[in-house]
Structure 1
């Protein structure tokens, strides 16, 4: 005879508590989350929670939800529990915003329509080519251990050749292989910047949804944007050398999709060189152009070693490879390589060899052609759906590449409330507030991940929610 559904939930929670996976003082999932997980109505969840409260294992705490108060050992013993839960808020690295954590959780749930996920659709994953390349790599494998501090030499040579074709003349000795651009930012924040430094960046910016610089003791100073990117007339003179850096994403900017033209790039370089303001150039979307190739990178016009250039295969090929790179002066790369060795002793050798094969064989450039064709189709479909279902309630610019359309809703709508309503309907969107948008009227719309039918359905549902007010 099968157990009642509420009893299954009770057993699940007790098991989590008994194994100390849910420590005393920690919050259990909400009634809504438990109901969804076990496919029951909320009254069944409430029955289960009532039984656990009667057993003295949990209790409701105002403003905190339902909290673990005991486990089976503390109920039998005389002493209070000692566990890691009290240390959760003591670390130096700040937690993500609650909304960002909620989005991160939902992005791995296949039941949600992903209207903002910054990742290529599984439909665009080159499975057969990947299998072929992995086979080629495996046939040439020899016993391997830790790689050189800067990364596999064959991969660094392949990255240098790849960058040379895009106007950046660099030696393999000036390349550091990292586990994605985010690790590069972390290494820069702890290895090259002192506490109290100021990080200038676009407003809005993807970095605002992270805590990488703030956790290292830096202050973010946003600079407004216009249709050509970061506004140079809004920058202020740097008075204290060595305590400031500019982070910029000039090519298909995340989240706005803005493409900085060549003249603005040259002007930006001139300003930063004059003020001795170093630049972190995040160029991970460069290869995702649709209408025409983008202007040369900032690094391609860097005559003084002022620019640290970040690239990655996560957006264009697969985030699962965990392969990115930093390009900069050799002394800087050596410093960052030492820090990377201290943190993880190098990225996976297999991933590095596979990435090198993709770049060196020409398969990567062939793959990019297919990706651009698919993104062209997807962008057209989303623009048509936006015009059909949100045309009276929103406005947007047409991006020339990348993943995102920056949608501005009219003043009658609040994106925070829209996020919650969409979430309840199984739709994930990213409100502009997590990127420090100028006001709460923006959402980041992605045409890269969800299927074409899901994209239209999700935008239709948003239109319906907005009509409801």
Structure 2
């Protein structure tokens, strides 16, 4: 006989508790999360939770949600259990805010229309080419161990040649292969900055959705932007020299999509060199231009070793490869290479060999041309849907690259409510609040991952939510 759905939920939670996976003091997932997990109404979840509460296994606590208060062993005798609940909040690295955690979990749920993901659709993944390269790499394999601290030399040579075509003349010895751009930021935060340093950054910014610098004891100082990029005259020395650094995404900024114009880049470099403010340039979206190639990177204008330059294959080819790079003065790269060895003893050899094949051949450039073509089609579909369904309640600028549209919703409707209602309808969006957008009226919509039909359907559903839930 088939179990009722509430009993399935009860059995699931009991198993988690009995195995110690949800220890005493742990907060269990929210009703909304459980309802989504099991594909049921919240009323079904409530029935299950009430029975577990009656059994003495869980309890609702003000400000903490529902927590595990006993397990089957403590109910059977006088056995004390370790309460890990206190420990998980004591680590030095801060947790993501709850909205970001919810987004991260939901992005792996294929049942949702993903208007949030900052990655390319599986439809744009070069499967045949990737299979061919992996097959070639496998045939050439010899026994392999740990790579050099800075990364595979052939890959670093390929990255060096790739960067020369984009205006950056750098030796392989000044390149560190990292497991994605985020690892580069983490290494910088723990290896180069003094405690209580200030990180200047555009506001809003993708960096606000992370806790990498705050966990290392840094302060984030937001800087205003206009349609040409960060406003240089808003930067100021908050502390003595050596305690300030600037993080910027000049090409197709995340989340706003703004492309910093060339003259603004020159002004920014002149100011930072004069004031001795080092720069972290996050350039992972550079190749995803659709109308015209962006101006040269800040690093191309750097003759003083002032810029740490971050690039990656995650946005353009495959996030699963986990291959990125950090460019800087050799002493900096040596320092961070040592730290990376202490963390993971180097990025995957197989991924590095595959990445080298992509970059050292014409395959990568041909792939980028195909991606750019498809992004133009996706952008057009998204813009048409926005105009058709949200034109009366929202405004936006046309992005020149990458896969984000920064949409301002009419103040009559709260974005927080839109995010929650969209989730309940199977649509995931990114509210501007996670990027520290102060007005609370922006959402970041991605047209990079969802199918064309899903893009239109998702935007239509957002318009229906706004229409039916004004106020």
Q: Structure 1 residue 384 and structure 2 residue 384: aligned? A: yes
Deviation at 1:47, TM superposition (A): 2.9
Contact 1:238 1:275 in 2 (8 A): no
3-state SS in 2 of match to 1:311:
strand
Distance, in Å, in 1 between the alignment partners of 2:216 and 2:316 is 29
Task: Give me the whole-angstrom Cα distance separating, in 1, the residues matched to 2:215 and 2:11.
Answer: 38
Q: What TM-score, normalized by structure 2, do the two folds share? A: 0.97
| Cross-structure match for 2:324 | 324
CA distance in 2, matches of 1:185, 1:394: 34
User: What runs of 5+ residues in structure 1 fail to find an aligned partner?
Assistant: none
More displaced stretch, 418-427 vs 237-246 = 237-246
Match of 2:184 in 1: 184
| Post-superposition CA distance 1:398-452 (Å, at most 9, x none) | 1111111111122212111111111111111111111111311111111111111
Structure-2 residue corresponding to 1:365: 365
CA distance in 2, matches of 1:238, 1:292: 37
Which residue is equivalent to 2:309? 309
Match runs of 1:23-422 below 5 Å: 23-237=23-237, 240-422=240-422
TM-score by length of 1: 0.98
TM-superposed deviation, 1:67? 1.1
CA distance in 2, matches of 1:55, 1:163: 63
Whether the aligned pair in 2 keeps the contact of 1:314 and 1:322 (CA below 8 Å) is yes
- For 1:43 and 1:247, the matched residues in 2 are separated by 46
| In structure 2, distance between residues paired with 1:27 and 1:347 | 34
**Using the alignment, how far apart are the partners of 1:189 and 1:40 within structure 2?**
43
Native 8 Å contact 1:223 1:235 kept in 2: yes
Cα separation, partners in 2 of 1:456 and 1:335, compared to 1, 3 Å: same
2:449: which partner in 1? 449
Distance 1:462 1:291 in 2: 28
2: CA distance between counterparts of 1:399 and 1:7? Answer: 49
Instruction: Return the offset for 1:77.
Output: 2.8
Q: For the residues of structure 2 that align with 1:330 and 1:35, how far apart are their CA atoms?
A: 52
User: In structure 2, the residue corresponding to 1:383 is in which secondary structure?
Assistant: helix
Measure the CA separation in 1 of the matches of 2:65 and 2:340.
Answer: 39
Give the whole-Å Cα distance in 1 for the aligned partners of 2:270 and 2:280. 15
Quick check: 2:198–2:238 contact (8 Å CA) kept in 1? Answer: no
Indicate if the aligned counterparts of 1:238 and 1:277 stay in contact, CA closer than 8 A. no
Alpha-carbon distance, 1:238 to partner? 5.6
Q: Judge conservation of contact 1:406–1:442 (CA < 8 Å) in 2.
A: yes
Residue aligned with 1:375, SS: helix
Per-residue deviation, 1:48: 2.4
Alpha carbons of structure 1 residues 34 and 163: separation in structure 2 relative to 1, 3 Å? same
Where does structure 2 lack aligned partners over 5 or more consecutive residues? none
Count of residues paired in the alignment: 469
- Show the 5 A alignment for 1:6-21: 6-21=6-21
